[in-house]
Structure 1
């Protein structure tokens, strides 16, 4: 893709540290091209403690906005002039606009997961949902599922106190029944028996974390109609998804959450709606980013070997 900037080009940064494995800028640029928006996304490493200086630069240069990955999703909040209730409740922001001298933030992770689930034909209204984990992404994801009409939600976490805190936060905004509990093989099996949808929000099964479920027997307790959504992107088929697949239970990985989030990103940043054909463009962009990453890794390996 050849990009030619002009004086009307909107500029957005993708910030975080590290960004070596980040695919967002490539994905965003593909989305801008698909939507015929005159905008560009640029990766920028911003280390912990440097966020204030970066935001000064955004204001000085009148940059249109920026998108955030770790470690800044919470650190950015004191700098914001406006944010929505869910982002404030769960202290998580991953997209910021700079408009008319104001920094306006939101989190779109939850919207991405909800849209990804619904795109598979799952109607969340009245559903019994099992949420695994209580970390940073869980609150926004659970909130969006509640917005879509889920009636009961079990929240399981290795540290049950965090599950209780998360359930309490959700109760402030939604009328669903919340059931926080510890995440053990026993509780997983108990709640799985009545689950219509399972959403896995932990790092279990993630390629570079080297931790996984010790016991997946709960998958065998899921009803045949159940649906499993795993936030993990790499590997594409986690042990959880393989276990579900072996029992004929449908599921998706985190690719869908990431790509469908782009629909909300275009609306938030640019005020643009796109048709569902954007998904293919987004998927192609991710695989392009992965190929570029692999090429860089090979180049670096050759350099390290002195070749």
Structure 2
């Protein structure tokens, strides 16, 4: 009998997770099936109860439920608690336990794609939403010591810094301040939706003053190369899109559910094919 897994969200039809995870189950000889569940906000509590009653062994959580699902779980991992969002739930006996693999998935992707070691590098995160918080805390937890945030509303960045349970040196900047000091940063992390299809000619900040050889990681993957990545490359920098983060957060979830590390190259190929890249 197959074990049941899935993803809850609204909307959910666009999710590439079922393709990625069902292939990983098959490739690893696991009798499991992963499917999407459309869950409206007002039905979230009943949905979580239903997933438990159905014997679901694990599920992912996407927009708009990552925060709202937390009080409905039996336990929440300390990192997910600090981030304030859950994207992965595992079942242990009859208990649902929540984790956040977004930030650590990003970190794995960054280590894989960045052409130089991350230690002692100065990082700038653009944006101060949920993804920025997950990435900031995961970078800080890994020992990266210099992480600044820039946002249209610097107060939101200040809140992320203030709430961070890990030690690092940080400043919250306006977009204009970040533009003026862009040459200080070795790594730029773009976490906003600016540049996403269909508004592909937009950039969240001007990056004309980047340090030569700097690296940008944009968590957007539609389009595969945003304008800010193209601009970095034109100015002598390097960059990568958000496919790696998506793949690695999924791989970490798969590992939590099964204890098996899936083939992330295979997962990446599936995602790229689905995106037409």
TM over 0.5: yes
Q: Which residue of 1 aligns with 2:106?
A: 113
1:285 corresponds to 2:270:
yes
Aligned-partner Cα distance in 2 for 1:272–1:285: 19
1:142 corresponds to 2:132:
no
Selected match of 2:9 from 16, 21, 28:
16
Q: Which residue of 2 aligns with 1:160?
A: 154
Deviates more, 1:228-237 or 1:260-269: 260-269
1:126–1:149 CA contact under 8 A, matched in 2: no
Q: Which residue of 1 aligns with 2:231?
A: 243
Q: Which residue of 2 aligns with 1:74?
A: 67
> What is the DSSP-based 3-state SS (H/G/I as helix, E as strand, rest coil) of the residue aligned with 2:216?
strand
1:154–1:191 CA contact under 8 A, matched in 2: no
Aligned-partner Cα distance in 1 for 2:68–2:204: 33
Q: Which residue of 2 aligns with 1:58?
A: 51
Q: Which residue of 2 aligns with 1:206?
A: 196
Residues 1:58 and 1:229: Cα distance change in structure 2 (over 3 Å): same
Selected match of 1:103 from 88, 96, 101:
96
Please report the RMSD computed on the Cα atoms of aligned residues, expressed in angstroms.
Answer: 1.8
Task: Give deviations 1:13-49, integer Å, cap 9, x for gaps.
Answer: 1111111321111111122233333221101111111
Aligned-partner Cα distance in 2 for 1:246–1:175: 35
Aligned-partner Cα distance in 1 for 2:40–2:167: 40
1:192 corresponds to 2:185:
no
Selected match of 1:267 from 255, 267, 277:
255
Residues 1:117 and 1:225: Cα distance change in structure 2 (over 3 Å): same
Q: What TM-score comes out, normalization by structure 1 length?
A: 0.84
Q: CA shift at 1:286, angstroms? A: 1.4
Q: CA shift at 1:214, angstroms? A: 6.3
> What is the DSSP-based 3-state SS (H/G/I as helix, E as strand, rest coil) of the residue aligned with 1:49?
helix
Q: CA shift at 1:191, angstroms? A: 3.3
Larger radius of gyration: 1
1:226 corresponds to 2:214:
yes
Q: What TM-score comes out, normalization by structure 2 length?
A: 0.93
2:13–2:36 CA contact under 8 A, matched in 1: no
| Count of matched residue pairs | 275
> What is the DSSP-based 3-state SS (H/G/I as helix, E as strand, rest coil) of the residue aligned with 1:193?
helix
Aligned-partner Cα distance in 1 for 2:25–2:136: 28
Residues 1:250 and 1:129: Cα distance change in structure 2 (over 3 Å): same
